Amino acid sequence: MEPLEALRAKISGFPGYGGELERRRADEYVRAYLGEALAGLGARASLAPELRQRLDELTLRVAFADQRAFAEHRGAAEEEGGNGAVARADAATVALADRANGVDAGSAPGFLDEVTALLDERESAMRAAALKTA
């Protein structure tokens, strides 16, 4: 399944990447999807204080758009029909969020590492998409 199709299958009303408003909403929808999964993990798992802090930091990170990454991404045209690097990173973010229900205190450190790496990759994809159109 193509990334945009996968996103639309998981997130009702997912707008795609066609214009600035759509990209802003797509960013919000993906961050909210992951944020809900992280909040569920926090409510369900008994985590050590250092893991709780990491989880809280990641939850805060997805609560707000990265203004630098988004400002650069804002000017990008819809890339590759919505199946480019940003859409792939977004689809991977949603797939990772879907795994949160299976995470317990023992697997939380690795999961949080994956979330951090994927958010970094997603922001890099947003910046790279903007550079292609510059």
Q: Is residue 92 situated within a structural domain?
A: yes
Series of mean pLDDT values for 10-residue runs along the chain (134 residues): 94 91 92 97 95 97 77 50 84 97 96 97 84 58
Cβ-contact 129, 62 below 8 angstroms: no
The CB-side HSE value for 132 (13 A sphere, CA atoms) comes to 16
The predicted model scores a pTM of 0.89
Mapping DSSP to helix (H, G, I), strand (E, B) and coil, where does residue 2 land? coil
Asked, for residue 128, whether it belongs to a domain, the answer is yes
Tokens standing for residue 109: 């450190």
**Rounded distance between C-alpha atoms, residue 100 and residue 62, angstroms:** 15
Domain hosting 51: range is 16-133
97 found inside a domain: yes
* Domains: count for the chain: 1
Q: Is 38 helix (H, G, I), strand (E, B) or coil?
A: helix
Question: Does residue 33 lie in a domain region?
Answer: yes
Q: Which residues contact 81 (CB under 8 A, 6 or more apart)?
A: 4
Predicted pLDDT at 1: 82
For position 10, what pLDDT does the model report? Answer: 96
Q: Which residue has the tokens 């569920």?
A: 40
pLDDT at 107: 97
The answer to whether residue 8 is domain-embedded is no
**pLDDT score for 77:** 44
